Amino acid sequence: MSLSNAPEGQRRLFLALWPEESERQQMAKLAAQVAGRRQVRDANLHLTLVFLGATTPDQLAAYQTALADVAIPNLELALDRYGYWPQPRILWLGSNRTPPELYELVAELHRRLRGCGFVPERRAFQAHITLARRFNGSVPTELLEMPVRWQVNEIALVESLSSPEGSRYEVVRRWPEG
């Protein structure tokens, strides 16, 4: 059983890059190597583009209309580095050269969502995949010899649900429509 992570009548949502099984397995393998047992489940690995938060049905309808014809670039993300944020103690996987097209995509998503009254967060977008939380280990500083090569050509609208095992994510839909 899963429950919404949002107030009654709303859904907790975010836009993300959602890995295919093969990339997910590669990310999970790296996470296991560096962090061992950890808080983030393999099935939850993703890259958040825009956190929408608690969303009403009307807002969701407006967002979907605004995003209907958004162009998604074809790009390759070479996941070749780890990073660490001490405050939340997050170990993440990212790229030493995130393609500019990804930043442009996030800016375009913000532009479209602003048109529906959405207020994007002020923090600059940092492309990252959270591998572990409450991480205490040592963070590899050298670049990965064998980066995970992630071919991106779509974005996903994802719902955050709470289950007895913790947060669980469910892809609601994707763009472009397949």
| 4 near ligand ATP (CB under 6 A) | no
At 27 the three-state DSSP class reads: helix
Q: CA 119 to CA 157: how far, in whole Å?
A: 17
We find the least distance from the C-beta atom of residue 18 to ligand ATP, in angstroms, to be 11
Query: What are the start-end ranges of the H helices in the chain?
Result: 21-35, 57-67, 100-114
Please give the residues from 116 up to 135 whose contact with ligand ATP meets the rule CB under 6 A: 121
Q: How far is the CB of 138 from ligand ATP (least distance, A)?
A: 23
* Max intra-chain CA distance, the chain: 47
β-bridge pairing 81-85 and 90-94: antiparallel
Note whether 55 binds ligand ATP by CB under 6 A: no
Nearer to ligand ATP, 74 or 87 (CB): 87
Residue 170 near ligand ATP by CB under 6 A: no
Give the residue, chosen from 12, 24, 38, 112, that forms a contact with ligand ATP under the rule CB under 6 A: 12
**For ligand ATP, how many residues bind (rule: CB under 6 A)?**
8
3-state class (DSSP) for residue 50: strand
Task: Check binding of 51 to ligand ATP (CB under 6 A).
Answer: yes
Asked whether 52 and 110 are in contact (CB, 8 A), the reply is: no
| Residues at the site binding ligand ATP, with contacts judged by CB under 6 A | 5, 12, 14, 48, 51, 121, 160, 167
